[in-house]
Amino acid sequence: MFDLYQLSDEHLAIREAVREVCDAKVAPNAAEADENSEFPQASFDALRASDFHAPHIPEEYGGAGADALATAIVIEEVARACASSSLIPAVNKLGTMPLLLSGSADLKRRYLPRVASGEGMFSYCLSEPEAGSDAAAMTTRAIYDNGHYVLNGVKRWITNAGVSDFYTVFAVTEPGIGAKGISAFVVEKSDPGVSFGAPEKKLGIKGSPTREVYLDQVRIPADRMIGEPGTGFASAMRTLDHTRVTIAAQAVGIAQGALDAALAYVKERKQFGKPIADFQGVQFMLADMGMRLTAARELTYAAAARSERGDADLTYFGAAAKCFASDVAMAITTDAVQLLGGYGYTKDFPLERMMRDAKITQIYEGTNQVQRIVMARQLLKGVI
């Protein structure tokens, strides 16, 4: 598909195109979205106009048909400008991946073109108040009733809830058998009985709303089930194998944005009669930041290649990329704040926002402690 150590001309062109859009029409909205905790509609409109809001949707459904690496590059470049806005393409992929992996042809035709056109976004409803890392402990129920399913329950930590029009919801259809009793469904925002909690007051990614989703006697046609009954949990885990790569890409983008800002500052800021970039202590910090970022990007792209091919070792590489890149993003943004000194601690510069935004990449789509469990299990099974 491509040489890992040299991007194709097509991938380089995608990076250039996304960066141009983001520099002009996404980055200018980032600080305001963070300050006001508001969804960056102007950024969404810019991404939609350029076909970068859901680039992974196949061409047969009206999408751009970007491969997994191209999608990662899009998310990386958007995150470099605004982490909140990068959750537009990232969560569209997260929400629609179960359909792409397991959905019927009819279900795909019904929903994927609407995401491709930007008519609506897709969110992913797995976590619950008492089911986070232990997702199989969910209690949301879906009961079959005369050609329909009736859903009741609460989903928590749902990204872009209230803004998205469509939701992939996981619910128990057969109690008492654990993960094998969980199924997946498409729920629409307009379905009677769907409502949302107040926006969470978060440390970072404030421009991406996070709310609870309430399902109160939500009655939907049975043909909105994704895949066969009892396959929902397996679809959820397969989805995360692919989409942890997108969180890694988001982390790489945040880290790149922080390094770019730090480099620009240290070349201009003078102390003791010369730019602080000339001091060896500063250069050592920059070298470590660059080295870590390069390693994180290469691991992320390697994982994206496996996602595109569906390799057997994707579970390991997806977890490794997400874990490593998010730890790197946290380290680089923290060092970037340090390099700016007191200025880094103020909202006059974007680095304090980037540091706050980076933290969530170590937590969502499975904490980095869970990622290490996933990796260890793969190693013990001899997959790697």
- Residue listed under structure tokens 């379905």: 191
3-state secondary structure (DSSP) of residue 39: coil
289 neighbors 259 (Cβ within 8 angstroms) = yes
Closest by CA to 290, choosing from 250, 260, 327, is 260
Q: Where are the beta strands (DSSP E) in the chain?
A: 122-125, 141-145, 148-159, 166-172, 182-188, 194-196, 210-221, 225-226, 270-271, 274-275
- Quote the DSSP letter at residue 133: S
- Amino acid 48 reads R
Tell which residue, 98, 60, 107, has the closest CA to residue 242.
98
Three-class DSSP category at 273: coil
Query: Residue 198 carries which DSSP code?
Result: P
Among 372, 285, 286, CA closest to 324: 372
76 vs 365: CA distance, rounded Å: 17
What is the rounded distance in angstroms from the CA atom of residue 191 to the CA atom of residue 165? 10
Residue 219: helix, strand or coil by DSSP? strand
Is residue 365 flagged as an active site residue? yes
Catalytic residue among 77, 128, 212, 365: 365
| CA pair distance 141, 17, nearest whole angstrom | 44
Token pair in block for residue 228: 């066969």
Sequence-distant (≥ 6) Cβ neighbours of residue 274 within 8 angstroms: none
Catalytic residues, by residue number, are 365
